[in-house]
Structure 1
């Protein structure tokens, strides 16, 4: 019977404060559980006996590392010893931290017993308990000191191993042999050719062997199944995954989304690397399991497997970036012609990598003479220099094809940088060739390997940076599904999501650049550990006063700030949408309360974050008092505006939505911010007024306390007109106008008599000041219309016209000056 899933037609609604409170509450609970009770021992901390046993094991491990470090000569073995020493240091720090908690518990118990009072006898059981706690505390203190000393010794051993590795690499790079141009160089190699050929054949013979029981059915089955799996992985599976991805790309060749493009390239990099590596691992395991490889041949087999896997990665990285067959999904900004020219470059780099690594491994394993090994290194150096020169030529051809396709007028900065890189590349290749001819063969070979490695790291960095950027900007976007959900649930604006995506992308790309920079030093034997030792100061922190500012402390402070801020934002949202609407407060008063709560929440979050950073209230008070002088002088205007803003929110002489007149400007208050107030004036523009202007200067509030609007009209009629009829017409017009209030009733007064005319002054009241101007216009039109119908003439003010004649230079010739216009 099939299962039927029933879905509610109405999705459950989750309010913002509930979600924020739940999320922030969980984080705050976890934080309080870890830092609020430092004196309580945690259940997972090692006990004293277990810690001492583990400490003894780590001491033995460190002694073994030091013993091996004295005789080791291989760079890979040194790196392994460095990792083991780092593990010892980490274990010692863990033991010290765990015992420190036990130490705090013992000290707390001793504090509960109180100090010993001289001259006052102490109970026997209390004295015994005090002695036992003191003895336990002494043992714990000793173990803590030993653990910290062990961590210090392990770090010093790791640093000495790293220094020895750097010194060994430096000596290798500075090692010089005879020049390959000299006849003695090749004569010495020829003299050892016969014996070295025998050693090489013996080494090759020692690699392989017949199975102990012969080619039994089990051996054949193991080899056959491994070969079948490798073939299936390399051809059908790889082809199926490749075609599946290509079909997906072909359906979206036009206008491919950035995120889909970078994810597709990353998918190609993973599949094109993982499948060959799986085939190599299966084949190598089958050869070992069947007994076809001797113990002497296992290191060479492992080297072949690792080297071919690295070469597969180089080829896969180039394939994922170029994508000759799908131009719309290509990450590199190359046209198809340039991409086709560059396509052999990854294979060339892979050939350099494989040839150099395997030839050096064979010469070392076979125990060839120094003269023969030097001759082989000379051939490798020249071959690597030639391969790199060929690679530079390929890049130059691709750049020329790109420039010819785009046109010389559209020369971009990227093309200029590529040109500069080609110049430095040719300088490096020429320098390597000269170094090889001068006898610095190890230098030439090592630098060529480093260039190939750097190209692989750069390609990986480019792909990962594109992936991270597209992922952050694609997911954290108002157009994405997640962004739409965040906007619908939490009210997050699209612009805020876009900004968050850009900032997160920048941070992650900087992290990728730092890791890539550390990866560049791997061929020189330093590895990531030695590189990131440079950032130890940031991890341990900087001591400022009594507070330690470290990355961990800063991250904890940021977490506490956002948790507290989210909690108080939830409270403010609850006030604005749930509690305050049930009160008798007006909307502007509610807005003021929510704004003040927001300011208080921000201040509380900052104080709590500073406390998590290790800066207590007493230190904060000292800091504030020290900054008060600078705030009083340098930030006086900002402080005055901020305080004025708080006064506006508390006293509310003006409110949001009030019509105010400030100087010669008037408009509606739209928003009261921390520093300024936004006023929308008549032309729909926004006037930004500092808050101190609204407190210290005269402001006319046209709509405070819901006042009535008053309309005033002034007319004059001749003394010869019927004044009572004129007064009646004015009163009828005022009463008949819609919007004029009956209470207070309109009034018409005789204001003055001037030059044979009677001045009428009329007053009417409307529901608000905002309606006064429009109703006044309608009243003026109505009065003029009624007076014309009644035949009553309206007067205008007396006008005086003055005409002044001016003379110019033509008056001497009897010509009149032009009349003024």
Structure 2
């Protein structure tokens, strides 16, 4: 593959320059003007009057009168009519439509400028008319002729300005309508050419026609380039001819050694044990540039050589453009693949792949780029020599089939190697398995190309494989750019770096806000890169920057429901627009959540509210863009919402209630992420507030899902709503014979000895109840963090039990003697009882 790439580079060096027309020489200024500009002007001496005072300064020249707007509007209207007449022609190519579209830009700018000028002018005239008031009635006192004349003049000016403003607005509307017509025609032409069916590659008649035409094809190609070389020699005299061919030979001779020297300069060293991510991405960019730039430089030098000798050829321009594009495609893809995957430098490799897998990916990328470039060059050659349709279809089908086979062979078994191949480089944490997704997309492209070639849709298959290479290149450059921006801002915007010190000293920024500034700059640059990449990805589909906001229409076939065209292709493209827009917004949301908000002083609950709200907003924006592609405006959506209001009122009432309750929770912030709440019999920490429900993690690590409506309409106990201070009450019971004052002293001493018990408010001892056998107390203390309540309770229990044991507060009082009276039984006193004294007697009789 390297030899093929080098051959393409040399081929571009020989033939690529005439593809670009010679830029016209700038107009030279007149000789008189040049002489007057170069010669110093004599400054006249200031005139003095008789008294010796300096003469008064001359008055400043009056401002030039404004150019009338009417003639400009006439020109714009005539240009619009001419463009409309051109659009009526049937045989319009995409280049013709694009040229007509470019003619609309000056017209739109002129109409907008006229509206900007006329609108305040009309308002000022109306204000003057309001001051003059209406014309007095016939029976009223007459006004002065001057006022009447002023009113008439103002009214006349008002009418003229209003007419001009109406014309300007009409031209602006007509320009937008014409632009929409051109866009629709371009998309229809694109669709027609993309899905134009030709003969299948399996057709014998196709190959019979190719076999018959092949000798004439090669003969015509050879003759074309011989004529081109002959024309070059005929346009140059003897000395200029030798200088031209000698310079071209020097360029070709010096390209290979200079490219090899560039590759040897500052290679990624094997001696670096563990390069940082910043060094890695710098190495990736350097490898990419030193592989791609020599080809770009060679093409530029050859172009300069051909422009110097005035040897451009408009007829061969499309072919040389294809050659130049093919060389750049191969060079860029080789630089990107070798830079990112580093097949011989595992320690410098960005993805966590092994050597075998990385080498396969690099070879596959370069091979597909070479096949696509050769196919485009041969297609341009077919157009140059006027090859037949059969020959063009056969070459394009072979190119698509070869690309599909190369993809299939390269992807076969690549998944198992990605799992089993050993990686000698450092491990990289990956959030998503992008490699598996890319592998599935490549398989889909290979299968689609096979089916397209066999069914006769070679143009569609060629477009698909072109988009694979185009999107892969843009994706790699976007990945490298965002990573470079992140690492560069993270390294540069630190309090102790030169930029951080300059911002702190010169501009007065706080050192803690330096990282926040870097994160904001990185986010703005990432957003710009993602937007630019989206336009580049959609460019081959006919999207231009002037087409935004897009007036989407159905691209392929479909049926209409009212004013809306519905088809499978429009739905698929709308889904793609939604996915692309949501991916961009989601990436911004993730950056805000992971990079911006952690550098602020906001609490976790407010951070969650901001990121969740941005997620809802991004979803609505992406949905509106996709629906606008289908032709659903806000008015139609309002009608649809009115039709669904009955269903929402009955079937979706609970979902809408929970959604609105979720919004109330997010912005009222009565319940925040991280709060400790109690809902009924469940309590725990709020982990996430979703669109329909709130997740609570209990103390046994169980997840409890609570509908948002329950949190809004029910009773919720939030232990950390205002602050995290908590009150702990411990009930205690001691012996009835204990001294309450001593108990109080012991409990206060125990409470004050604990580190987590707050001194203010002071611990309190409450004497709650008493009896002959027991005394009850409550120990009330305050803790700074409610999460420590359980720990403090346990510690106090241990210490109280120890002290109570020492003070013998748990020793029970002697029990009083129990007297048992049995009715109807005479109990004689025992001698011991007589000695002891009178005892209880029988109370049978009362």
**What band does the TM-score fall into relative to the shorter chain?**
0.5 to 0.7
Partner of residue 328 from structure 2, selected from 309, 334, 340: 309
Q: CA shift at 1:428, angstroms?
A: 3.1
The equivalent of 1:182 in structure 2 is 203
Runs of at least 5 residues in structure 1 that lack an aligned partner in the other structure: 1-44, 537-629, 639-686, 694-713, 715-796, 808-821
**3-state SS of paired residue (1:280):** helix
How big is each residue's C-alpha offset from its partner over 1:733-785, in whole Å with a ceiling of 9 and x where there is no partner?
Answer: xxxxxxxxxxxxxxxxxxxxxxxxxxxxxxxxxxxxxxxxxxxxxxxxxxxxx
- 1:422-467 deviation per Cα after TM superposition (whole angstroms, max 9, x unaligned): 2443243123212211211111111111111111121122112212
Contact 1:522 1:528 in 2 (8 A): no
Aligned match of 1:142: 163
3-state SS in 1 of match to 2:328: helix
* More moved, 431-440 vs 266-275: 266-275
SS at match of 2:315: coil
Q: Secondary structure at the match of 2:200?
A: coil
* Residue 49 of structure 1 pairs with residue 67 of structure 2: yes
Give, in whole Å, the separation in 1 of the partners of 2:316 and 2:151: 66
Give the CA deviation at 1:181. Answer: 1.7
Normalised to the residue count of structure 1, the TM-score between the two structures is 0.53
Could you tell me how far 1:363 is from its partner in structure 2?
Answer: 1.0
Q: Which of the numbers 472, 478, 499 marks the counterpart of 1:482?
A: 499
2:192 paired residue number:
171
| 8 Å CA contact retained: 2:360, 2:410 | no
Q: How big is the shift at 1:226?
A: 5.8
By how many angstroms is 1:205 displaced? 4.5
Q: Which residue of 1 aligns with 2:435?
A: 418
Which residue of 1 is the match for residue 539 of structure 2?
522
- The residue aligned with 1:428 is 445
The match for 1:210 among 214, 232, 251 is 232
Q: What is the distance in 1 between the residues matched to 2:530 and 2:458?
A: 31
Answer yes or no: is the 8 Å Cα contact 2:270–2:345 preserved in 1: no
Contact 1:89 1:152 in 2 (8 A): no
Pairing 1:257-656 to 2, within 5 Å after superposition? 257-263=276-282, 265-266=284-285, 268-270=287-289, 272-287=291-306, 289-290=308-309, 294-324=313-343, 327-393=346-412, 397=414, 400=417, 403-406=420-423, 416-478=433-495, 480-487=497-504, 492=509, 496-502=513-519, 504-506=521-523, 508-530=525-547, 533=550
Q: Distance in 1 between matches of 2:444 and 2:353?
A: 25
1:235 deviates by 4.9
- Partner residue, 1:221: 243
TM-score between the two structures when normalised by the length of structure 2: 0.52
The CA deviation at 1:361 is 1.1
Distance 1:115 1:234 in 2: 86
CA contact (8 A) 1:99 1:140 kept: yes
- CA distance in 2 between partners of 1:527 and 1:500 (Å): 33
Q: Is the 8 A contact 2:364 2:406 kept in 1?
A: no
Cα distance change, pair 690–531 in 1 and its aligned pair in 2 (3 A): closer
Structure 1 pair 108–461 and aligned structure 2 pair: CA distance change class (3 A): same
Change (3 A) 1:420 1:272: closer
Structure 1 residues 480, 286: CA separation in 2 closer, same or farther (over 3 Å shift)?
Answer: same
Matches within 5 A, 1:681-720: 690=722
Residues 284 and 63 from structure 1, CA distance in 2 versus in 1: closer, same or farther, beyond 3 angstroms?
Answer: farther
| Distance change in 2, residues 1:254/1:801 (3 Å) | closer
Distance in 2, Cα, partners of 1:200 & 1:143: 59
Shift of 1:293: 5.4
Instruction: Report the counterpart of residue 95 of structure 1 in structure 2.
Output: 114
> Residue 97 of structure 2 aligns with which residue?
78
Inter-CA distance 213–535: structure 2 relative to 1 (3 Å threshold) = closer
Query: Are the counterparts in 2 of residues 227 and 283 from structure 1 also a CA contact under 8 Å?
Result: no
* Residue 161 of structure 1 pairs with residue 161 of structure 2: no
CA distance, structure 1, for counterparts of residue 251 and residue 132 of structure 2: 72
CA distance in 1, matches of 2:237, 2:277: 54
Question: Structure 1's 324 and 512: CA in aligned 2 closer, same or farther, altered over 3 A?
Answer: same
CA displacement at 1:196 relative to structure 2: 4.4
Against the structure 1 CA distance between its residues 327 and 112, is the aligned structure 2 distance closer, same or farther, given a 3 Å change threshold? farther
Query: Would the aligned equivalents of 2:452 and 2:461 in 1 still touch at CA under 8 Å?
Result: yes
Contact 2:401 2:450 in 1 (8 A): yes
**Is the 1:311–1:353 Cα contact (8 Å) retained in structure 2?**
no
1:813 aligned residue: none
Q: 1:196 to 1:325 in 2, by over 3 A?
A: closer
Using the alignment, how far apart are the partners of 1:240 and 1:459 within structure 2? 25
Q: State the Cα deviation string for residues 650-707 of structure 1 (Å, max 9, x = none).
A: xxxxxxxxxxxxxxxxxxxxxxxxxxxxxxxxxxxxx98959x9xxxxxxxxxxxxxx
**Maintained 8 Å contact 2:221/2:385:** yes
2:153 to 132, 143, 152: 132
* Residue of structure 2 equivalent to 1:760: none
What is the SS of the residue equivalent to 1:276?
Answer: helix
Distance 1:308 1:61 in 2: 40
1:358 counterpart SS class: helix
Counterpart CA distance in 1 for 2:321 and 2:486 is 37
> Would you tell me which structure has more helix in proportion to its own residues?
1
CA distance in 2, matches of 1:158, 1:202: 43
Please say if residues 281 and 305 of structure 1, whose CA atoms lie closer than 8 Å, have aligned partners that are also in contact.
Answer: no
- Structure-1 separation of matches of 2:192 and 2:284: 41
Q: Separation in 1 of the partners of 2:809 and 2:418?
A: 83
> Residues 226 and 357 of structure 1: is their aligned pair in 2 closer, same or farther, counting only changes over 3 Å?
same
Structure 1 range deviating more: 421-430 or 113-122: 113-122
- In the alignment of these two chains, the number of paired residues is 514
What secondary structure does 2:387 align onto? coil
What do residues 582-617 of structure 1 show as CA deviations (whole Å, max 9, x unaligned)?
A: xxxxxxxxxxxxxxxxxxxxxxxxxxxxxxxxxxxx
1:266, 1:320 within 8 Å by CA — same for their partners in 2?
yes
Partner of 2:202, secondary structure, is: coil
C-alpha separation between the residues in 2 aligned to 1:374 and 1:341?
A: 31
String of CA shifts for 1:128-179, please: whole Å, max 9, x gaps: 4443343333333333332232222222222222222222222223222232
Contact residue 357 and residue 421 of structure 2 kept, 8 A:
no
